Structure 1
């Protein structure tokens, strides 16, 4: 992957190239919404990113704390995109514990094997309506 480490590039473009977001628009919205911090500070999508900068990303339920290793103006395959950054050890441990907690929660709250059929849905609706009405 060709990278020019001497010239800084836009934060939103790098997040897109590193495959944290599918589009630059999504990356820009995440940055503007405060989900991405550059060197511990809120920034704008056009903020200049350089190698060695630290980026904090909160995406859905996961958090990433990464250090920029390379800059790339183009979006390549995932294997090449992973070379653009290095995730800190604390971030990896935190993310794995979050995933384990989510899996444990899913195990404790199993999904039903199937959806209720029409007759069962009507019974559920009647039951809910009977118990949500205010007493007169």
Structure 2
């Protein structure tokens, strides 16, 4: 197993859509390797722990295999172990439900829903 840059690895195992996105996440301080802020050029080896903050959640990933090239999703899943803790059930956002056949929400109802979702 060889070492590989963190931005290349994040892209190769499909945690980031593009390599520039992975580099930008590193520059923005959203990526940590072994509890230290990571630059895009930080070297990863198997056994390292990577924390990535995306979309308001923090994912905890353990590196099991280092790869440089982007591979299929099935192969990429073998290169990492996802150790992200499950969110507590009370933090899940309830989904607004409408009765069947009531039609589209009115403008007033949409404003109320938007206010509710922003809280």
Q: Output the aligned Cα RMSD.
A: 2.2
Task: State the TM-score, normalizing by the size of structure 1.
Answer: 0.68
What is the CA–CA distance in structure 2 between the aligned matches of 1:20 and 1:52, rounded to whole Å? 17
The answer to whether structure 1 residue 80 and structure 2 residue 68 are counterparts is no
Tell me which of 62, 73, 94 is aligned to 1:106. 94
Counting matched residue pairs gives 105
State the partner residue of 1:133.
none
| Unmatched segments (≥5 aa) in structure 2 | 112-119
TM-score by length of 2: 0.76
CA distances 1:7-59 after superposition (whole Å, capped 9, x unpaired): 21110000001111110000011111111101100021011111111101111
Max Rg structure = 1
Worse-superposed segment, 60-69 or 23-32:
60-69
Runs of 4+ in 1 over 6 A off after TM superposition: none
